[in-house]
Amino acid sequence: MLQISSATKYFKGQKIFSKLDLTVAKGCFHVIVGPSGCGKSTLFDGLTGVFPLDEGSLSWNHETLLSLKDHASYMQQKDMLLPWFSLLDNALLPAKTGGQDIKKATKQARSLFQRLGLKGYESHFASQVSGGMRQRCALVRTLMFNRDLILLDEPLSALDTITRRSLQSLLLLLQTEFKKTILMITHDIEEALLLADEIYLFSKRPMSISRHFVLDSPKPRKFNDPLLLNIKADVLDKLEGDLIHEQG
């Protein structure tokens, strides 16, 4: 279980967020939705220890931690593939840097390539394949961390709508097939509705949780699920309200 309690972060004396509480139970897929620039990525930087939190505590599986650096894998909007390595070698980076058994890791990576629709592209370079393929490879690399917790920072927002749809089903596999615990940031409400067990709706500065939705309809879900449509209307209402409030 991932537990974040009273997380607080200042930047140049300005409060980005304070006393933020968030829990992700083991094996759950929680999604943070919020307007861009509200500080969602700053929260992730705090979790990963890039820019540590100023106050608050973190725990993973009841172990209190300073950061999730050694416990979480991380995927972001940019695919971050190195141009001098083939897709397979890129996927093997966590194995190479983390001192995993390379032979075993290669076998694992190859089977993940097959599972995520990259078979036949192992020796291609990032520059030779489409954005969707690159993001699939980044997803394989994320899995190759072999860590139970996955942080996703708008992983699909650089992709076109059609490619995004097909990758969303792969993100769902992280939970259903690979049994990972996932915390994802997105500003795509429909994406959140399709994937999330719980949605945290964030409001702008200082960032705070303005709404919390629990979605218990089974996955994979369809867009026209009336329950989802209800929540979607709710979320949009809330976001719009914030916007008007902000302008007023």
Footprint on this chain of other proteins (rule: CB under 8 A): 48, 50, 69-70, 72-74, 76, 78, 80, 82-85, 93-94, 96-98, 125, 127, 145
Least Å distance between CB 222 and other proteins?
Answer: 35
- Residue 163 token pair: 């490619």
Least Å distance between CB 77 and other proteins?
Answer: 10
CB 159 within 8 A of CB 167: yes
CB nearer to other proteins: give 97 or 224.
97
CB nearer to other proteins: give 32 or 144.
144
Q: How far apart are CA 116 and CA 137, in angstroms?
A: 8
Phi-psi region of 27 (alpha: psi -120 to 50; beta: other; left: phi over 0): left
Least Å distance between CB 84 and other proteins?
Answer: 5
Least Å distance between CB 35 and other proteins?
Answer: 23
Least Å distance between CB 226 and other proteins?
Answer: 40
CB nearer to other proteins: give 10 or 85.
85
Q: How far apart are CA 193 and CA 14, in angstroms?
A: 32
CB nearer to other proteins: give 70 or 177.
70
Least Å distance between CB 49 and other proteins?
Answer: 8
CB nearer to other proteins: give 18 or 41.
41
Q: How far apart are CA 77 and CA 43, in angstroms?
A: 15
Long-range own/partner contacts, residues 133-137 (CB < 8 A, 24 or more apart): 133/87, 134/79, 134/81, 135/79, 135/159, 135/163, 135/167, 136/167, 136/170, 137/79, 137/81, 137/87, 137/90, 137/91
CB nearer to other proteins: give 76 or 108.
76
User: What separation in angstroms does the CA of 210 have from each of 20, 24, 169?
Assistant: 11, 17, 28
